[in-house]
Amino acid sequence: MEWAKVAKGALTVSSLPSGQLLEITKASVSGPLHVINLSDRIVDTEESICNELGIPYYWFPIRNGKPPNFIPDLTNQNTVYSIGAASEKIQEILSHEGGFVFLHCLAGRHRSMLVAYCAMLRCGLSSKVALYRLQRLNPEAFPMDPSMTEFAERNFGWKFFSC
């Protein structure tokens, strides 16, 4: 599993993880692990497994976009709120706790990449550096749709936040 170093911590982007993967991941990191679920439905077994393993679990629901591109509706207020809240929580974990964030939706290609990009920008990474690190995490998600990168840069760019 690849990790992108950001501020004092690191993050990874994935599809919905299994309990075994969470257990292995927790054992392999050198700091506190946090799981953030961006899918539009909560997975009870995942939350239970995280509780059993002592992993903080957060759910910020973002509805998946419609085919063929599955881009989230960036004009929906609930979507925008969840993106902001999730990226703020990630920024807090990465900058203050030096933790590890396991970020996922169902496929790890649109919602997760968008929120990871927003969080990296909030932490002061340049667009170029953030996109490079994200591409190493999930090359299949590239190139990111311009509407997603423009949304992130407009709302979460370095001018507004820093770790």
Confirm whether 163 is domain-assigned. Answer: no
Residue 81 included in any domain: yes
Is 103 part of any domain?
yes
Structural domain containing residue 121? 4-156
| Tens-place pLDDT, residues 12-62 | 999 999 999 999 999 999 999 999 999 998 777 899 999 999 999 999 999
Query: How many structural domains is the chain composed of?
Result: 1
Cβ-contact 46, 37 below 8 angstroms: yes
In this prediction the pTM is 0.93
Residue 161 is assigned to a structural domain of this protein: no
pLDDT, tens digit (0-9, with 9 covering 90-100), for 54-100: 999 999 999 988 777 788 889 999 999 999 999 999 999 999 888 99
In the DSSP assignment, the letter for residue 102 is E
* CA distances to 65, 134, 157 from 68, in Å: 9, 22, 28
Whether residue 35 lies inside any domain: the answer is yes
For residue 162, tell me if it sits in a domain.
Answer: no
DSSP assignment of 143-163: SPPHHHHHHHHHHH-TTT---
Residue 162 pLDDT > 70: no
